[in-house]
Structure 1
Amino acid sequence: MELDDVHTILIIGPTSSDKNVDLSTALYDTVDILHQLGYKTSIIVEDPTSLLSSGVFYDKTVVEKVTGDNVLKFIQKYHPDAILPTVGDRNALGIISSLNGKIGTTKVLGASFSASLATFKRELFIKKLTKANLPVIKFISSDDEKEIYSFIRSIGFPIIARRRYSNRHSSGWTNINNLFELDNFMAMEDISDSRIEIERSIRGFSEYSFTILRDRYDNSSLIGTIEDIEPIGIHHLDSNLISPAISLNDSKLQRLRNYSIKLARAFNIVGICTVHFAYNHTTKESYITEFIPRLSEETKFLEYATSYPIATAVAQLCLGYHLDKLQLDAGNYFNGATEPYVDHLTSRFPQWKTPGQKYLGPSKTSDSSIVVNGFSLEEVLNKGALNDKLNNNFDRYNELRKLDDDELFEKIIHPTNWILDVLSEALRRKFEMPVLSEITGVNVPYLNALQNIINNSLIIREGEIDGKNVERMVEMGVKGVGHSKLLLDSHDIVTKTVVKNKRAVSVANNKYINHNYFVTSGISNELELSDRKKIIVRTPIITSKTDIMIRQFVLFQLAKSIDQNGLEPIIIGREPWNAPLSMRRKVVEIDDPHMEMKSLGLIEQDSVLNIIDLSKNLIDTGDDRVFQFSAQEIKNIELKGDTTVRVMVVTDGNNFLAPSVIYRGKRDNHLYEISSVNNFMTAEDRVEISKLIKQELEDNDKVDIFNFEMVKSNDHWLVTKKYRGMTNDIIRHELASSVHVIDTLVKLLLGNKIDDDLSLEKVFDNFDEKYLLTIDDKRYKLLDKEEIQEKLKELRLKEK
């Protein structure tokens, strides 16, 4: 069934971990199943923190800049049977396209050379789709004025145009609606080394994406669809996303599904392919705008929405497995050809750090996002984009009320991140819905949902709630967002907030259980818990990309440790966590956008041993079971030095361990960081650092984690910073040290103790074999003991 000549696989990893957070758990799932199936895997990666804890599965880990040259060097030295680029980012596809004809018998799994090249070369993309009779936007790149005008006559207005210079820079796209505007654009300063690029404008079309899985036998299935509420012209990640796409009727959906499968066939893609469409509901025009033949942020979102184990499936399809004979783990089969039937909506709403308005366009401006689930458009809008606790919508409402109709219309024409609030205000003022849809490109179902929310808000404010409308309002998530005290106090059973199972993919194996739930309103509580004692982990409200990376790592380690210690891990948070497949059947995940779980009483309190709080909001501080894991600054002294150490300490209240000491030295205008240097500390340093830690922990009598920063001044160490809880160094500490601090913490919370009178060697003990060297927070190297000794010797010779 599978490819019988592939035994060793080189994986091209993502470039920067904080920009490719969603690939980290996908990477873990990929190498986990490959390891279970008996393949030897190696990876080339720039930042090893993106591996989470999957490093145990690799035969070789190469920490180098992820370039075509370094991939080629690896192939020439180790001769892997195949390369897998699907868990890399766009850079991985660029590398594959550059290696054509250079890698001998080494196979490329997933995206072919032509598919990889077509993601960069627009001309090839158009040529391939045109040959396959697929709808694609016509495009020209020329310096011949006659050719340009002839092309425009063939496609008509509106168009977009830009100047492309020989240094690969461009002037940016200009919208052109008529001949007069075109003449003005062409009359701009002519630069000899530039070409003019022109294509049909699709601004204002609706944007959809379809994700297809395909095996080498030409079997395909549609895993999921995503719809942008905002139209094309606004960056995909600045738009509010809904899955599944609800504004497509069955005939439109089947048409775009068939196009997606046909594209995957045209490029002979084995594995995964996400196809983006522009669709005009008035003219019925549809165009394929791009395709992504790899795992991405979208596929991770879909994996959460549908419960389909996409990363695991893609790895096996690339190796030749049949779509209907995949494995969740070695020996546990499921039918991957079953297209997920989803019983709920999953929505992704972008977030901005600052409360003001940001104009939306083709460039991304959002900082992060939040994902919510619900059974209606109104519910997910109330939970997410229109949730005052997240977005200050009441302040927006008051500000928009002050505008006259002309000022409001200006905000409708030039969309900002307040677009849904603006449309709500416009509907409140009786602006016509078809006109608003035509101007903004927002489809009517969303405007109808906004109108329903407005109508219900009026009922709530006027207190006109009775048995006739209470059930409909609860269906819209009104009770869930806490807008109405009347509803909260209602004895009607439908107003009770409950936890619903997020049912989606039908898997042909009754052992596959997805313990994933979300808080909503309704009648029956579907939360399923075992009789094991529990540790609850509360996660952050909204996080940056870097914070998400740290959170994913910590949650995975916590969940794994809690399970291994015989307890049931329960993860509760506003932003859902998509656990690696190996943990998905062991951890209960509850998406709770309003932190209601703490007061619902759905978890038997006697069964809860501890509550680990990563949420940074310091709730329930009076509960002795709550352990605050997020960093709290205790000391910060402004004392700088060229040599510092960062020490992670775990204590049971009496004794402590320091299994990870990170050395940092500033030399010759470069910042060097070595993790961890426990095995290279001098006896004097051990004594002095241990003495300082004891002094700092004198008043502590509880289980805790501390992070210390110490500066070397006049040949002595001084404590300059002290944090209780987890800092951003947690990944580096955990990956660099062979002693897992998070697992040690869980054991201490369960009542284990650190031995008395430990020697300093035992306090600082770890059994590391590889050490992480970081230069200027950009370049990473994994070195062995002798190489680290040489580097430390070199750095210490330069100490002042």
Structure 2
Amino acid sequence: MKKVMIIGSGPIIIGQAAEFDYSGTQACKAIKEEGIQTILVNSNPATIMTDSDVADKVYIEPINIESIERIIQIERPDGIIATFGGQTALNIATKLDDEKILEKYNVKLLGTSSETIKKAEDREAFKQLMIDINEPVANSIVANHIDECIEFAKINGYPIIIRPAYTLGGTGGGIANNYDELIKICTKGLKSSPIGQILLEQSVAGWKEIEYEVIRDAKDNCIVVCNMENIDPVGIHTGDSIVVAPSQTLRDTEYQMLRKSAIKIVKSLDVKGACNVQFALDPNSDRYIVIEVNPRVSRSSALASKATGYPIAKISAKIALGYTLDKLKNSVTQNSSAYFEPALDYVVVKMPRFPFDKFKIAHRALGTQMKATGEVMAISRSFEDAFLKALKSLDQSQTNLNYMGKSEVLSKIKRCDDERIFAIIHALKIGVDIDQIHNITKIDKWFLHKIKNIDESLDINKDKSLVYKMVDTCAGEFDAKTPYYYSCFDIEDESQVSDKQKIIIIGSGPIRIGQGIEFDYCCVHGVLAAKEAGYEAIMINNNPETVSTDFDIADKLYFEPLDIDYVMNIINKEKPKGVIVQFGGQTSINLAKKLHENGVNILGTSFESIDLAEDRDKFGKFLEGINIKTPEGDTASNINEAINVANKLGYPLVVRPSYVIGGRAMQVVYDEESLINYMKQAFNVSKDHPILIDKYIKGIEIEVDAICDADDILIPGIMEHVERTGVHSGDSISLYPAVSLSEHVIDTLVEYTKKISTGLKTVGLINIQYVYDGQNVYVIEVNPRASRTVPILSKVTQVPMVKIATNLMLGKKLRDYNYETTLMKNKNIYAVKVPVFSSEKIVGADMHLGPEMKSTGEVLGIDKDLDIAIYKGFIASNINIPLKGSIYVSIKDEDKKELLDIIKEYKNIGFKIYASKGTHKFLLENNLDSNLMDVSELKQKLYSDINIIINTPSKGNITTTQGYEIRKAAIENKVPIFTSLDTARLFLRAMKVEIENKKIDYKDINEYFSEEAK
């Protein structure tokens, strides 16, 4: 092998999150170690994986057959690995094999073969294999038509579990309890499966769900790295379950029975590398059934890796190259073999993090379709302590359930939503019988007793002190060389404190909407820069999916809640030179005040400056003092105050709670009725937590990320949003460089950025959001920290932003670097960031664009030609580009005038126009033909006849409106829907690339710059 291609997983979506950045990064490093050239293809710009120093060549390009084939043609790799990029990479690899593309270019699929992938992923083939090797499966059928589903239900009755083939995170699946649910879920499931196939099986909901993480090599050596028990029984997706490792309630005979079965299944599938096997175990007998198998690294393998300290992705990559387990070393101990099963002398608890703080009207009930955006992991000596630490790590304000009496709380538990665990804790506190809770939830009584114990367990620890223990994979049998620690109550402390000068970097905790993988990127680069500068770099974080919590990134890793008490314990122990809070998003910035009060040296921008930027009144006065405009605004603590402010400012207005992240609960209101409704719904409004009310300024939104040393600034690039103000920056399509701004406006932006950055005495990174209304530049928001766009700008400008920022915090100045200008010259490439929404997973949510962020991830389109970059961005975000067909439009009154030019263009391309009543009338009045179509007719024709929808809502998040029905139907039928005219207009440019048959190049990101250098 001279050259190997690795396929990434693309954008972060529910069911496929940061764990594939972690495993892909580990795989790239493992293959590079062997002197083999690595070629990486991934469309996600926010990851460590797509950094130019992780693989030898990085293609930030769409993950589809066309681009992968073209890159294979350019690079001619000897082999390709698809088991590190989630379901996305697995599906692409299967397609490349089926279409004989691998054969055409003589490329080997390394590691697990396509036959194995098909056997594990194709529901029929997998069921047949289980029957052949005498492993029990649920009574089931594989269906390709609705009639088969109806027949199965007649014979077997309800409930029935539906699982589509070749999908991820339970997409399109569910549990049907009756005929109507069966038809609905099966129809959706057949559409979701790329091969139009679903598995229907008799439900074993309520049985225990147990997982085994297994590794096998080509010599048939096979080990179980970790077994895990879901606290939630079968029926709730494992990604949404609370998971414990190792299993706590299995008898040894049950553990060994399932272990034996897992090894037998992995061997019969001929897996080479990592594999996850899921079982359902009857709690009342020894009966079990095999649920499914993932023949790749997965969310569970990331958890198993971090729980045991065994680097599953690294070992799997080596096996893919032909190594066997007996020839590999354990990277944690560095002196024992990789061919041994890890031993755990502690308990690990994983808890999911849900996005429902963003989606108040979404269906919150948990089922077989995953809904969590991320997760946390906690380690301790007892289940009780690990469980408590996991709760703390979620970094989430919980609904107060203290008002609930017994019957209310039991109803809440029956609803089985994302707050069920908190309802159970409350029920146990108020004396609800454990048997009663067990009968409703089927959660093992052992766990319920332990949760009830939590208060008492704190007394048990009173004679012990908080100490740190090591995760070493071998329960202390061998010396470990990698310091990876967790806190617990014990007598003996295992952590070694060195004499070196130390820097602590605080992470960002679980992945959530508004705070994603981009902050992990910043943390990792901060750690690497601190190490390079000669310091001992210490990482504190609790997210098991990320690169920052990998065993070989920091000099020392503390897997702990990002809570002031836990953080201060580590600071008091390690006595660092200082702490960096800039890279972990709002989570770490929120710790600044308490760290400052505890006398901790915050490196970079001071707490006073952070507070000045975050405090509305102080910041308003600061801007006034340096003569920079900001939208007029005020605060209100009740409805009357809000009306008075509105009368003073005039509509439209932007309303939001104070101190929020990701635009949570932010809205644009156009009239008094909407304002009153907002104030009624606003949570926790008081004099201390008032509602902020600003004049809404319509214009172009601009984002500037700068590096500052308190005296000078460096701006790597300026990004312009496609959608106008009122759409959250995380949900906007962004263009680099800004394409529609005059030199004068750019000069103003640079001048304002310098005044603000130096005025705040910023040291490190700062993110400023501006709006230009055609006349004036206004400041909307200043974040004295790293932002979501830092990884993108670092990659498309080749300025190592985090590294420079870290060095400035450690005493360097910008003049020590070789940058001659304040604003970097554009590299003559265009980069287009397109957000990606996990719409199918968050059922019932209203996914229109607005001030509150809703996207879970993003992709990047890069090219020398702006239109091709736009095209690549849309393609990479999985939006189909139809070149003919029909478009349906339903537009709010404020947008109708602007619609005319857009509709004319769609008409010129050859699209047939359908419209709702008001929009149809408007188009006719302006001499544009359209066909009237009501919502009920639209729903019937969506799947077959309508290719694109443009719908701009007058009121969002109201389930009774016609617009909500349109948006919901579009998501269910996978029809592209644009809720902003700006997006619909940009989409035309992507369509024209195909219409004009433009030549599309796919290049390693460095090639764009080396061409420039030539």
User: TM-score, normalization: structure 2?
Assistant: 0.64
- Conserved 8 A contact 1:373-1:518: yes
Matches of 1:606 and 1:579, distance apart in 2: 21
Residue 9 (str. 1) matches residue 10 (str. 2): no
Partner of 1:469 in structure 2? Answer: none
Secondary structure of 1:94's partner? helix
Residue 74 (str. 1) matches residue 74 (str. 2): no
Change (3 A) 1:531 1:242: same
Aligned length: 735
Paired letter, 2:227: T
Matches of 2:230 and 2:487, distance apart in 1: 24
Paired letter, 1:249: R
Partner of 1:467 in structure 2? Answer: none
Change (3 A) 1:717 1:67: same
Paired letter, 1:79: R
Matches of 2:540 and 2:163, distance apart in 1: 50
Matches of 1:364 and 1:54, distance apart in 2: 29
Deviations 1:571-610 (A, max 9, x none): 2345566537584462332413543245437636764244
- Conserved 8 A contact 1:514-1:585: no
Change (3 A) 1:590 1:387: closer
Matches of 2:152 and 2:483, distance apart in 1: 59
Secondary structure of 1:782's partner? strand
Matches of 1:57 and 1:412, distance apart in 2: 46
- Conserved 8 A contact 2:20-2:85: yes
Matches of 1:562 and 1:34, distance apart in 2: 26
Secondary structure of 1:49's partner? coil
Q: Which moved more, 1:283-292 or 1:523-532?
A: 523-532
Q: Which moved more, 1:499-508 or 1:341-350?
A: 499-508
Partner of 2:345 in structure 1? Answer: 343
Partner of 1:544 in structure 2? Answer: 512
Matches of 1:330 and 1:53, distance apart in 2: 25
Candidates 496, 506, 516, aligned match of 1:528: 496
What is the Cα deviation at residue 765 of structure 1? 4.4
Matches of 2:742 and 2:398, distance apart in 1: 54
What is the Cα deviation at residue 760 of structure 1? 8.4
Paired letter, 1:621: H
Partner of 2:380 in structure 1? Answer: 374
Change (3 A) 1:784 1:327: farther
Q: Which moved more, 1:328-337 or 1:693-702?
A: 328-337
- Conserved 8 A contact 1:276-1:291: yes
Matches of 1:139 and 1:253, distance apart in 2: 26
What is the Cα deviation at residue 350 of structure 1? 2.4
Deviations 1:638-678 (A, max 9, x none): 786776653322222222222333355679x9986444689
Q: Which moved more, 1:291-300 or 1:771-780?
A: 771-780
Change (3 A) 1:499 1:189: closer
What is the Cα deviation at residue 93 of structure 1? 1.7
Partner of 2:654 in structure 1? Answer: none
Change (3 A) 1:497 1:84: same
Matches within 5 A, 1:185-224: 198-224=200-226
Deviations 1:11-40 (A, max 9, x none): 111121354211112211111121121111
Matches within 5 A, 1:309-458: 309-326=311-328, 335-352=337-354, 358-385=364-391, 392=398, 395-396=400-401, 398-400=402-404, 402-404=405-407, 409-411=410-412, 413-423=414-424, 433=434, 436-453=437-454, 456=456
Partner of 1:744 in structure 2? Answer: 804
What is the Cα deviation at residue 446 of structure 1? 0.9
Change (3 A) 1:599 1:759: closer
Deviations 1:744-792 (A, max 9, x none): 2222222222339x9984333479697633357766333359999999x
Secondary structure of 1:696's partner? helix
CA RMSD for the aligned pairs?
4.6
Structure 2 residue runs of 5 or longer lacking an equivalent are 191-195, 624-629, 632-694, 837-857, 872-985, 990-1014
Partner of 1:96 in structure 2? Answer: 93
Residue 230 (str. 1) matches residue 232 (str. 2): yes
Q: Which moved more, 1:610-619 or 1:315-324?
A: 610-619
Matches of 2:709 and 2:413, distance apart in 1: 58
Candidates 754, 763, 768, aligned match of 1:708: 768
Change (3 A) 1:108 1:628: same
Q: Which moved more, 1:744-753 or 1:377-386?
A: 377-386
Change (3 A) 1:648 1:128: same
What is the Cα deviation at residue 392 of structure 1? 4.6
What is the Cα deviation at residue 202 of structure 1? 0.8
Matches of 2:228 and 2:700, distance apart in 1: 50
Deviations 1:617-640 (A, max 9, x none): 232335472147789555754786
What is the Cα deviation at residue 228 of structure 1? 0.7
What is the Cα deviation at residue 296 of structure 1? 1.5
- Conserved 8 A contact 2:526-2:802: yes
Secondary structure of 2:759's partner? coil
Matches of 2:511 and 2:209, distance apart in 1: 26
What is the Cα deviation at residue 556 of structure 1? 0.3
Partner of 2:249 in structure 1? Answer: 247
Structure 1 residue runs of 5 or longer lacking an equivalent are 1-5, 457-471, 480-486
Paired letter, 2:507: T
Partner of 1:38 in structure 2? Answer: 35
Matches of 1:41 and 1:383, distance apart in 2: 39
Partner of 2:269 in structure 1? Answer: 267
Partner of 2:46 in structure 1? Answer: 49
Identical positions, percent: 20
- Conserved 8 A contact 1:540-1:616: no
Candidates 486, 492, 496, aligned match of 1:518: 486
What is the Cα deviation at residue 175 of structure 1? 3.5
Q: Which moved more, 1:136-145 or 1:341-350?
A: 136-145
Change (3 A) 1:692 1:54: closer
- Conserved 8 A contact 1:640-1:711: yes
Secondary structure of 1:308's partner? coil
Change (3 A) 1:716 1:241: same
Deviations 1:270-297 (A, max 9, x none): 0111001001021221111111111111
- Conserved 8 A contact 1:575-1:593: no
Higher strand share: 1
- Conserved 8 A contact 2:549-2:557: no
What is the Cα deviation at residue 268 of structure 1? 1.0
- Conserved 8 A contact 1:324-1:336: yes
Matches of 1:353 and 1:61, distance apart in 2: 31
- Conserved 8 A contact 2:17-2:373: no
Partner of 2:601 in structure 1? Answer: 625
What is the Cα deviation at residue 714 of structure 1? 5.5
Change (3 A) 1:72 1:223: same
What is the Cα deviation at residue 251 of structure 1? 1.8
- Conserved 8 A contact 1:674-1:772: yes
User: TM-score, normalization: structure 1?
Assistant: 0.79
Change (3 A) 1:704 1:256: same
What is the Cα deviation at residue 443 of structure 1? 1.5
- Conserved 8 A contact 1:368-1:545: no
- Conserved 8 A contact 2:349-2:383: no
Partner of 2:537 in structure 1? Answer: 569
Matches of 2:127 and 2:114, distance apart in 1: 16
Partner of 1:463 in structure 2? Answer: none
Paired letter, 1:9: V
Change (3 A) 1:399 1:95: same
Matches of 2:110 and 2:164, distance apart in 1: 34
Secondary structure of 2:63's partner? coil
What is the Cα deviation at residue 717 of structure 1? 6.2
Candidates 855, 861, 865, aligned match of 1:781: 861
